[in-house]
Amino acid sequence: MSRRSRIRRHHPKHTVLRVLLSGLALTLVVTILLAGVGTAAAIGLATNWLTDLPSVTDPAAFAVAQTTKIYSADGKLLANLFLENRQVVSLDEISPSLLHAVVAVEDERFYEHNGFDAIGIVRAAVTNLRAGGVSEGASTITQQIVRNTVLSAERTDISYKRKVREAYLAYKLEEVMSKDDILSMYLNTVYYGEGAYGAESAALTYFNKSAKDLTIAEAALLAGLPQQPSRLSPYDNIEGATARRQWVLQKMYEQEYISKAEYDEAVVEKVILKRAKNLNEHGVYSAPYFVAYVKKVLQDEFGTSLVFKGGLKVYTSLDTKLQSQAEKAVGNVLNLKSDPDAALVAIDPSSGNIKALVGGRDWDTNKFNFATQAKRQPGSSFKMFTLVTALASGMPPKRMLDSSSPAVIQTGGKPWVVGNAEGGGKGYITLQQATTHSVNTAYARLAKELSAAKIVKTAKAMGITTKLEPYLSITLGGQEVTPLEMASAYGTLANEGRHYPATAVTKVVDAGGKTIFESDAEGSQAITREVAYAATQILKGVITGGTATRANIGRPAAGKTGTTQDYRDAWFVGYTPQLSCSVWMGYTPEKPMRNVHGRRVFGGTFPAQIWHDFMSAALKNEPKLNFKSAPSPKYTWKSTWDIPKTEVPLVVGMTEGSAGSMLKKADYKVTVSYAYSPSIAKGRVISQSPAGGTKVLPGATVTIVVSKGIDPSTPPPPPPPPDATSTPPATGTP
């Protein structure tokens, strides 16, 4: 029988004799190691050394750190997380050439000894005694496993005590574990340099292939690395690594693991190095901001040790196609180095699953995750929660709100003074109009009427997890939240009022194949279907004819813009029945966005454009669904026709000043125009609209026309005709 055919056989014959001889050999070794000490004393000392040993029957004692793998929803490997870059594989997933090479170079009597090589130890001991120091070692593969696992804390100890403990544990390990299992453990444990632990990671690190696909020459090169992995790395020392490979091939040939023809072919094979792209320093090669968020979620749930050492398989919600489209949408719109940062989060509202997440414009230059870590003021995009609160409280979309500016809101302390972005107001407008055109003063007065506490409660129910304070300014986005929270909360409207928490991790399987986590897709009814639909109908107008017309994607969609004071933050958060998406942009440190590509930034400009581009691509092949209709909520608050009207004072004939004062005192807005009048004195009111006595809503605008006097370009009137009784003047000479 050839050596090659015997490589995995463990010969049971003479087992009892072999054990006895091994035991005697161990005693002999101790005696030799302690030359100059009596045999009995040596045995007694060795017995003392073998106290407090770990158990070799405890699987945890041999546990090694394994690489955790993170996958996308469509099966793409997103990342490897590790403290030790290790991917444990079975012996059948490793090339036989590597098994042969390892045994040949590390432990040629592996299949003959019982944990420690008595012949090798005696030979090494004699050699070392003659040399007057340690010049030769004799650790078996089994001993190396013991040293790197159960005795790892003692691995730097070079005393005889550690060597005896190591040999004894190796002997005990082989009593309970097969040779194949021991070899498999070794090949998955040993360090090969370049951060690679185990054969699979080593094969990927040096040759970008699995361990099962290694050639004889590649296997020999890897087998030679554990001796001095740093010095022999072929990336830094190709000559040294190749020389070591040739020596391993020679050993394989001498021990009949390869033929002469195989040897001749392998020694001349060119070393071609190629590092797998998914094994860089951080283990991340796709969707880095999303992976960073997943890492945090995993560590919060399972702890750092299990995440980075436990060999987990983590399945996530990310759709790599949508992720690519999201990154492209951000990069195409913000394509200059001087541009602000941006974040985009897209969520499936029916499950809460995060389908795409962009946490910044460039991971390499800024690893801060703006999608999940950056809490910024959302501006008017937060008005949605006030709108929902109003509808849920019984206010109809046609409820009239005062839009006059400024709004002076009493708070019990210093009044809160709010102005409109465009300056003045437009009198009384409907709740729907106030939302579509994002009128601050109307919403400030609405928040006062509803109470900030109710708005906070609504926001929390819909998905805002950041702690919120019940301040009235919350309605204008005065408190900071993340883009992830906003996408999640708006998804509640898309999903008929049912909220699902934002989910990145859908399933986690441990190294043994057991599912230890699976996301619960239940969710809760945060608001009624009726309120969700009513709010959506209003927010659709923001896109079709309000502040976010750039977000129009040619299908039913709704959303809200947001721009904070001095243009420091700009948002657009919108949704369709299939997808909810938030877009934020801003500088860090914060500064005004007054000149981005030559213009000021509003929520309806760059953020709406990014949203438009992403959603158009993401939904290109999806059906154009409309939002599911629902009955109108039961409206109980005063509507348009419930607000009492008042009579407009008659001011015709009054001076401009008196007329203006009277109208303003009666809570009307006043606009003035001027005209010439042949009959009304200059400075007095010629006419008014609405006419005096007309009943209109408070806050309505009354236009007065004031006389400018007689038009100077008008010709003077003709002289009066002569008196018939008077004497006519003389017409000739006497």
Q: What is the 3-state secondary structure (H, E, C) of 431-468?
A: HHHHHHCCCHHHHHHHHHHHCHHHHHHHHHHHCCCCCC
Of 22, 106, 201, 580, which is the active-site residue?
Answer: 106
Residue 300 domain-assigned (yes or no): no
**pLDDT at position 279:** 55
Pairing relationship of beta strands 524-525 and 498-499 according to DSSP bridges: antiparallel
Question: In 3-state terms, what secondary structure has residue 346?
Answer: strand
593 and 686 share one domain: no
pLDDT tens column, 191-219 = 999 989 999 999 999 999 999 999 999 99
**Structural domains of the chain, count:** 3
The catalytically annotated residue of 380, 381, 438, 488 is 380
Find the CATH number of the domain harbouring 537.
Answer: 3.40.710.10
Q: Alpha-carbon dihedral of residues 497, 501, 506, 509, nearest 10 degrees?
A: -140
Residue 25 has pLDDT above 80, yes or no: no
The two three-digit tokens of residue 542, written as one number: 């923001």
Q: Is the pLDDT of residue 729 over 60?
A: no
343 and 425 belong to one structural domain: yes
638-667 burial, b at 16+ Cβ within 10 Å, e below that, comes to ebeeeeeeeebbebeebebeebbebbeeee
Does one domain contain both 473 and 533?
yes
282: closest CA among 223, 345, 365, 195? 195
Tell whether 552 and 636 lie within a shared domain.
yes
Residue with tokens 């989060």: 345
**Residues 625 and 662 reside in one and the same domain:** no
Q: Is 260 exposed, middle or buried (0-12, 13-18, 19+ CB in 10 A)?
A: exposed
Same domain as 345, residue 199: no
pLDDT at 157 over 90: no
Query: How high is the pLDDT of residue 695?
Result: 82
Lowest mean per-residue pLDDT among 15-24, 54-63, 332-341, 559-568: 15-24
Are residues 685 and 624 part of one domain? no
Same domain, 593 and 533: yes
Which distant-in-sequence residues (6+ apart) come within 8 Å of 407 by Cβ? 417, 418, 419, 440, 441, 444, 445
Separation of alpha carbons 576 and 557, rounded Å? 5
Does one domain contain both 563 and 422?
yes
Higher per-residue confidence, 331 vs 44: 331
Q: Please, what is the angle between helix 483-494 and helix 452-462, to 10°? A: 80
Give the span between the Cα atoms of 115 and 124, in whole angstroms. Answer: 16
Verify whether residue 106 is a known catalytic residue. yes
Higher pLDDT, 450 or 160: 450
**How many CB atoms neighbour CB 386 within 10 A?**
27
Confidence tier at 16 by pLDDT (50, 70, 90): very low
DSSP 678: S
Given a cut of 80, is residue 724 above it in pLDDT?
A: no
Which token pair is 628? Answer: 């599911």
> Is-catalytic flag, 518?
no
pLDDT digits (tens, 9 = 90+) for 299-310: 999 999 999 989
Q: Do 379 and 462 sit in the same domain of this protein?
A: yes
Range of the domain at 687: 644-707
Counting residues of the chain whose pLDDT is more than 90, the rounded percentage is 66
Q: Which candidate, 605, 607, 602, 542, places its Cα nearest to that of 566?
A: 602
User: 339 falls in which pLDDT band (50, 70, 90)?
Assistant: very high
523-579 pLDDT per residue, tens: 999 999 999 999 999 999 999 999 999 999 999 999 999 999 999 999 999 999 999
